Chain A
Amino acid sequence: MTLAPETTGLKLQLQLEEDWFTVCDLHLLAPGRGVAALLPDGRQVALFRDREDRLYGIGNLDPFTGAAVLSRGLTGTHQGRPFVASPLLKQRFDLETGQCLDDEAVRVETYEVRAR
C-alpha cells in the first residue's frame, strides 16, 4: 500500500520479486473501482485505489468460484480496514492482507503497489 500523490503522468507499478512492473497510467484506476492486470507469468492481479488514493493489489482469482473476477467487486471499509467483496458470491477480502473476512481459512495473495 502506498499513497499516490495527486499528480498526473504517474504510472501504476507492482513489485515482482526485485523489480517493479509497470502496469498502466494511474488515472485509469478510479477510486473505489478495480482493474485487472496480467502479469508476464500469466498470473492475474486485481488493483484498487481508495478515496485517500491508497493503492492495493491482490490476486484476481476468486478462491470460492475459480473465476478471475475480484477486480470487479465493490470496495469498502470494515472496522477501519479496506476490503473488496467478490462480485460472484460476495465474500469479502482484506485488501492489505488478502485475508477473507468471511472464512478464516481462505486468503488470496497480495502485491506491493506504488505510483511513480
Chain B
Amino acid sequence: MTATPGATPTIVLVGHGMVGQRFLEALAERGLTATHRVVVLCEEPRPAYDRVQLTSYFSGRTPEDLSLTDMEFIKEHGIELYVGDPAESVDRASRTVTARSGQAFGYDTLVLATGSFPFVPPVPHKDAEGCFVYRTIEDLLAIEEYAKSRARVGAVVGGGLLGLEAAGALKGLGLDAHIVEFAPRLMPVQVDEGGGAALLRTIEGMGLSVHTGVGTQEIVVGEDGAVTGMKLSDGSELAVDMVVFSAGVRPRDQLARDCGLTVGERGGITVDERCRTVTDPHVFAIGECALASDGRVYGLVAPGYEQAQTAAAAIAADEADPLTFTGADLSTKLKLLGVDVASFGDAHGTAEDCLDVVYSDSRAGLYKKLVIGRDGTLLGGVLVGDAEAYGTLRALTGSVPPVSPESLVLPAGAGSGAQLGPSALPDEAVICSCHNVSKGTIRGAVTEHRCTTVPEVKKCTKAGTGCGSCVKVLGQLVTAELEASGVEVDKGLCGCFAQTREELYEIVHALRVSSYRELLDRHGREGARGGDGCEVCKPAVASVIASLAPTIGASGYVLDGEQAALQDTNDHFLANLQKNGSYSVVPRIPGGEIAPEKLIVIGEIARDFGLYTKITGGQRIDMFGARVEQLPLIWARLVDAGFESGHAYGKSLRTVKSCVGQTWCRYGVQDSVRMAIDLELRYRGLRSPHKLKSAVSGCARECAEAQSKDFGVIATSSGWNLYVGGNGGATPRHADLLAQDLSDAELIRLIDRFLMFYIRTADRLERTSTWLERIPGGLEHVRDVVVDDSLGICAELEELMAAHVAHYRDEWAETVNDPERLARFVSFVNAPDTPDPVVSFVPERDQMKPDLPLLAIGRRPLEDALEGSAQR
C-alpha cells in the first residue's frame, strides 16, 4: 500500500521513545494530527516513558509512574499506536514501512526516532548470564531480579553519568558495587580533572569501589556459564556476580542504513538544520539516532525535544516559524542519590581567552568551577558536591552575572554574602532547558494564565516535566511571582485546614479543643467542615492534641475515643507496619544500657514468636515479623519483664544514644550513660511534629554522635554543652551549639524549653534541623527565646513539659491490661483466630524474611506481566 494522492497524507513515526512522544505532541500542537493520519511503531512492550528518570524505579516509582503517554491524548488525536511492533524495513521507492507483524504502512513523511542502543565492548563472554545493559524498563526489571536472587557483588563498566546511576542502583539493591572506568576520571565528558577528583572522593565515601584508568579485558564465567568475575587491563581481577555495561551509547541507525540513507562515519542518520535527512526529503530523523547539522549526535533529551519541534514545524511547512536545530547545550545534573554533580555550558573552557574561577575543598568533596569570558560573560561551569546553584547559573549562562563570579562559587557563609536568587535573573534566562522555557514564560503563566501552583505552571508551560532539575528554581519563581502580584500563597496544612500546624496548635491550646471533629467543623475550610478530614491533618492534629493532652484535658492515652481514628496505623497498633502487613516491635532501652537478664528475655521472646531480630542504628533491638494478633502476647511478656514502649512508631522521642562515658572510658569527663537515661526517661512518649533523637557523649571525642541529633549533649570538664538542630538522614546537618558548660539542672531546663518551643512552632513533619533553618532569625532567635526568655514564655514552656513528665504512662502497659483495648489486635474482625495468610515468611541467614513472591502475586496485574517478561 502506498500513499495515493488525494487521500489523507500519512506520517509514520518509527520509535516511541521520549523524543518520539514529544514529536507527537508537537504535531498535535500544530494541528497536524487533524489533517494527517499518524502511525506510530513502538518496539518496546509499552508506550513512551520517562527514560531520564529510569533509575527512580529503584526508589519506588513504578513503570506506570514513569509513563509519558496519556492514552486519552493518543485516542483524542486519532493516533494509531502499535505497541511491541517494531519497523523492520523501509522501502523508500514505494514509501512503505513494514513492521515485524507483517503490517505495511505507506507514508508521505517518515520520521525516525529510534534512539540509541548501549554499546557493549567486544570482550569475551560479554553476553554471559549475569551481564546486563541499562536502557529500558525491561533491563531494570531483569537487573533487579538477578541482583535479588543471585548476586552480592556487581560491577558497572563505564563511569559516566549513566554508569554512576547504574552503580547507585546496584548499591541500592544491596550489592557491593564496583565502577570500572577506562578514562582517568569519573564522568570524563562532563567534569574536568578537579571535579573528577572531588567526585571520586564522594562516590568512594558512599561505599562504591572505583577503578579508573583501567579497561575491562574479559568477563570470567563459572561452569554454569554465569558471571563470576572480570579481568582488568592492569592484570587484576575482580570477583563479581553481575556486570552492567554502561560504556556509552550508539545511534540506532541500522534501519536507515538498510534503506540507503546516509549515516555519519561514527553512526547517526545525517540530517540538515530542519532535521530532514540529507538523502531523502520525505524522511526525518530526530533524537539520539540523528547526526545533527553541527556534526554531533546528542545523547540528552533536551536537544531531542528541540529536534522534535523542529521536525514538526518543517512538516507543517510553517514558514512563519521556520525552526532550525543547529546545536545545543550539554548541561547535565546527576541525579545519583546523595551526590550533586552538574555541568553546564562550556564546562571545559574551550572558548578563547576564557578564564576559570575555581573553589575547591577536597576534604568536603566540594569543587566548583565557572568559566568566564573576557567580557565577564558566564560561559559554563562544573559543580561537584553542591549543585544548589545549578538552576540559577545555567539560566545565567550567556550573560554577565549581576555579582562577581567569585561570590557565586564561594559557599554560603564564607564571606560571600551574595546569594543569587532566581529573582536576579533576566526574563530571557532559560529556566527549564529540557523544554526551553524562559523565566518570562513562567512569570506569564502566573500573571496571565492565572496559575497558582507549581503543578499548574508545569502543565501550562511544560517547564519541569523533563529531567526535573529546574523544579526547585521553578518553585521559587512561582512563589515570588504570586507574592509580587498580591496573591496569597496558601500555606494551609491541607485541603481541610487553611491554618498552618503552628496556628492550629495555638487554637487547640488557647480554646482547649480536645476533639478533632470540633476543630474541623469550627475552624476547618468551608468545604471541609462536616466531612471526614484527610490523612494529612488527622495525625497532625492528633499529635498536637497528644502534646497538649494534660493541659487541655484530653486523654493522655492516644487511642482513646476519637483519637484512635486519627492515628496512622503505626500509632494505632503501637508498632511499625512492615511491607507485608506484619509489624516490628521495639522496646525502649534507655541510653542503650541493658542488663543481661533483659537481653535474655528479648532473645527468648524473639525465639518463641519466630521474630527476625536486628540491632538498630539507634542502640536498641528491633524484632520484626509480628502479626497483629501476636503484638499483645509479645508485649505482655515484655511489660512483665519491665520493658516499655520504645515509640519507634510515633512522631515522638526515639532514642537517646550514649557512649560509655566517664565510668569506664579513660577519657570520659562526665557520666554520659546516666545523663542519657535521665533524658530518655524524661522525654519518652512526648508527641512532636516529627521524631526526636538525642545522644550524650562523655567527652569531646563524641562517640555518641550527639552533633547529628535534634538535641545533643557533649560533656565538658565543667558540665555539659548543648547542641540543637542536628540531623542524620538524607540531608544531614550538624547541630549548632546553643549553650555551654551547663549544670545538670540548667541543661534539662534548656532542653525542656527548646523542645516545647519547637513543638509549638514547627510545621508538620518538620525536623528540628529544617525548623531551625526556616524560622525567621534562626538559631539566634531560638537562643533569645529559650535562653534569654525574650518572649517571656519560658515559664509556660517549662510548665507544659512538667505536665508531660507527670502524666506519662506506658502505652503498652495500659493496652495489655485492658481487654477492650486489646480487641483491635486481630487480622479479621469476623475470624479473630485466623492469621492473615499474606503475612508469610521464608528463611534467610538463620532467621526469616517476608515472602516477597507472595506479595508480588497480590500486586496489580500489569506489574505481574512485567515481572514475567523479566525472566529472560
Interface residues of A (CB under 8 A from B): 23-24, 28-33, 35-38, 42, 44, 47, 50-51, 61-69, 72-78, 80, 82, 85, 87-90, 92, 103, 105-106
Contacts and interface: CB of A to CB of B under 8 A. Distances in A.
Interface stretch (B412-420, B573-581, B730-738): B573-581
A64 B836 contact: no
A92 B495 CA distance: 14
B565 A30 contact: yes
Contact of B580 (A63, A67, A74): A67
Interface stretch (B140-148, B156-164, B534-542): B534-542
Listed residue (A31, A35, A47, A76) with the most chain B CB atoms within 10 angstroms of its CB: A76
Interface of B: 60, 62, 64-65, 495-496, 517, 527-528, 531-535, 538-539, 562, 564-566, 568-570, 572-573, 577, 579-581, 823, 827-831, 834, 836-839, 854-860, 862
A92 B533 CA distance: 13
A65 B857 CA distance: 10
A76 B535 contact: yes
Given A76-B532, A82-B532, A89 B64 contact: no
A38 B532 contact: no
A77 B528 contact: yes
B532 A33 contact: no
Given A65-B855, A67-B858, A88 B532 contact: no
Contacts of A85: 534-535
A66 B64 contact: no
Contacts of A36: 827-829, 836
Nearest to A68: B838
Most central of B64, B496, B531 by chain A CB within 10 Å: B531
Nearest to A35: B829
B829 A73 contact: no
Contacts of A42: 837
Given A61-B858, A67-B581, A74 B539 contact: yes
B535 A74 contact: yes
A66 B829 contact: no
B579 A38 contact: no
B706 to A, nearest CB: 33
A80 B577 CA distance: 29
A37 B564 contact: no
Q: Which of B538, B570, B830, B859 has the most CB of A within 10 A?
A: B830
A114 to B, nearest CB: 15
Given A64-B860, A67-B581, A68-B858, A32 B831 contact: no
A87 B573 CA distance: 12
Given A38-B830, A67-B579, A103-B65, 10 more contacts: A23-B829, A24-B830, A32-B565, A64-B860, A65-B579, A65-B858, A72-B569, A72-B577, A74-B534, A87-B577
17 contacts: A24-B829, A29-B829, A30-B565, A36-B827, A36-B829, A37-B829, A38-B828, A44-B828, A64-B860, A66-B854, A67-B580, A73-B569, A75-B535, A76-B496, A76-B534, A76-B535, A103-B65
B64 A103 contact: yes
Contacts of B839: 68
Contacts of B495: 78
The secondary-structure label for the interface of chain A is loop
B95 to A, nearest CB: 37
A28 B831 CA distance: 13
B379 to A, nearest CB: 43
A85 B113 CA distance: 40
Nearest to A50: B532
B535 A92 contact: yes
A32 B566 contact: yes
Contacts of A29: 829
A62 B572 CA distance: 18
Nearest to B72: A104
Nearest to A47: B829
A37 B834 CA distance: 10
A41 to B, nearest CB: 13
A66 B568 contact: no
Nearest to B60: A89
B501 to A, nearest CB: 17
A33 B858 contact: no
A8 to B, nearest CB: 16
B830 A23 contact: yes
Q: Which of A37, A87, A103 has the most CB of B within 10 A?
A: A87
A33 B60 contact: no
Contacts of A44: 828, 836
Nearest to B533: A76
A87 B568 CA distance: 7
A33 B564 contact: yes
Contacts of A61: 838, 858
Contact of B532 (A30, A62, A75, A87): A75
A88 B857 CA distance: 17
A24 B528 CA distance: 31
B533 A77 contact: yes
Contacts of B565: 30-33, 75
Contact of A69 (B496, B566, B581): B581
Nearest to A95: B532
B584 to A, nearest CB: 14
A30 B834 CA distance: 21
Nearest to A33: B565
A30 B823 CA distance: 12
Given A76-B535, A89-B60, A37 B828 contact: yes
B581 A74 contact: no
Contact of B859 (A23, A64, A82): A64
B581 to A, nearest CB: 4
A88 B577 contact: yes
Contacts of A87: 568-570, 577
Nearest to B537: A76
A78 B538 CA distance: 13
Contact of A66 (B496, B562, B859): B859
B855 A105 contact: no
A51 B569 contact: no
CB-CB nearest 3 A-B residue pairs: A66-B858, A32-B565, A66-B855
A42 B834 CA distance: 11
Contact of A68 (B534, B570, B581): B581
B650 to A, nearest CB: 15
Contacts of A47: 829
Given A38-B828, A72-B572, A90 B859 contact: no
Contacts of B829: 23-24, 28-29, 35-37, 47
